[in-house]
């Protein structure tokens, strides 16, 4: 669980999937054994590269571990534990330790955020269909009906079992499971004594150690107005995770309006808080996954106030005006490279 501390807070950013390559070609690392893989798992592109002895087995084992987590926690795989809970309301389903942990963390963050993060958001996700060929704008009546089934209090965990207590409630761990998977990869890399590695699970970036040449990793933050490969900032990082929630990741446009996939559980609509993205930098990817969603939904001011007491967490917001608000701990190792962005230190927002 998270601990408290005073911290000037929150930001939103996006990670360029391929920037882990930027520091890999420097002198000194060319003779080090390495391995990499790029696969489509958990409904997203997963990229990994590792350096050092045992790097090949670490990458292979990591990819298999991510697949195992998908089999347990996917909403769409018929035999997954999460789907079994959704399809058998009021009936307790036996859980693996992995699913139990993630469900417990989901409830923790739901309570911590007063419901801004809600693992029972599934009915709203299904209604809008964003990211599928069924994407549409539902009526207010449809949204109101779906919201009757969105409340994390309908999720119960008892020992190694869990259930939803109301028919129609659907758990969706899309805002937290990728973070858990990244943390599991970190444990595998360390188990095999691999000193340097990078994993990107659909924008959930985690680095182990330093880069191959012993410099810090340089992680590119995506310009939210453009596609991947367009970078507006760089964060230097070691043994950290960087996770972004943004309105440009999955969306559709109708009549000039963008409808994105980050839903406000209170009103059932895509969250509109004047932000383009929110990025969390910390040590645990599961935490960062949930916190980036919470920060985006709360918006700049409330997000700052929410995160300022969380220990060892840094954040960056990008507003629709292209103002970039960063927490005080990001002053070192953070560089804006996009000429259109205005850097503002965010400490006074929470005062």
Alpha-carbon distance of 346 to 325, in angstroms, equals 5
- Residue for token pair 């001011």: 301
What angle (nearest 5°) sits at the alpha carbon of residue 238, between those of residues 247 and 289?
A: 30
**Cβ atoms of 186 and 208 closer than 8 Å:** yes
**Three-class DSSP labels, 149-192:** CCCHHHEEEECCEEEECCCCCCCCCCCCHHHHHHHHHHHHHHHC
In sequence order, what DSSP letters do the residues of 26-94 get, joined into one string? STT-TTS-EEEEEEEETTEEEEEEEESTTHHHHHHHHHHHHHHHHHHH-SSSTTSHHHHHHHSTTS-EE
310: its two tokens: 């969380």
CA 63 to chain centre: 18
CA neighbor of 186 nearest in space, from 286, 104, 311: 286
Residues in the chain: 351
User: Residues marked as binding?
Assistant: 175, 289, 293
CA 293 to chain centre: 7
User: Residues marked as binding for Mg(2+)?
Assistant: 175, 289, 293
């Amino acid at each position: 669980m998270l601990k408290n501390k005073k911290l000037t807070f929150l930001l939103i950013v996006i990670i360029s999937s391929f920037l882990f390559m930027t520091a890999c070609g420097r002198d000194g690392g060319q003779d080090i054994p390495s391995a990499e893989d790029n696969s489509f798992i958990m409904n997203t592109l997963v990229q990994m590269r590792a350096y050092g002895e045992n790097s090949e087995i670490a990458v292979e084992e990591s990819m298999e571990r991510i697949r195992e987590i998908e089999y347990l926690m996917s909403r769409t795989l018929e035999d997954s534990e999460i789907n079994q809970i959704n399809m058998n309301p009021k009936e307790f389903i036996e859980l693996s330790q992995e699913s139990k942990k993630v469900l417990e963390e989901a409830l923790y963050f739901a309570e911590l955020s007063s419901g801004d993060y809600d693992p029972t958001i599934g009915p709203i996700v299904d209604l809008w269909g964003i990211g599928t060929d069924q994407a549409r704008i539902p009526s207010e009546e449809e949204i109101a009906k779906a919201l009757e089934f969105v409340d994390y209090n309908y999720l119960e965990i008892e020992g190694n079992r869990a259930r939803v207590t109301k028919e129609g409630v659907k758990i969706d761990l899309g805002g937290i499971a990728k973070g858990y998977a990244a943390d599991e990869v970190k444990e595998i890399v360390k188990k095999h004594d691999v000193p340097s590695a990078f994993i990107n699970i659909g924008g959930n970036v985690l680095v182990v150690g330093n880069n191959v040449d012993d410099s810090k990793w340089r992680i590119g933050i995506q310009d939210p107005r453009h596609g991947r490969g367009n970078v507006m900032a760089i964060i230097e990082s070691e043994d950290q995770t960087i996770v972004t929630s943004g309105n440009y990741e999955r969306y559709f446009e109708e009549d000039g309006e963008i409808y994105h996939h980050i839903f406000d559980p209170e009103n059932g609509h895509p969250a509109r808080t004047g932000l383009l993205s929110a990025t969390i930098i910390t040590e645990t990817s599961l935490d960062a996954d949930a916190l980036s969603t919470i920060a985006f939904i709360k918006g700049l001011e409330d997000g700052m106030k929410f995160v300022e007491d969380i220990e060892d967490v840094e954040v960056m917001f990008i507003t629709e005006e292209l103002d970039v608000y960063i927490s005080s701990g990001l002053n070192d190792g953070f560089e804006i490279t996009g000429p259109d962005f205005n850097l503002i230190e965010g400490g006074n927002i929470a005062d």
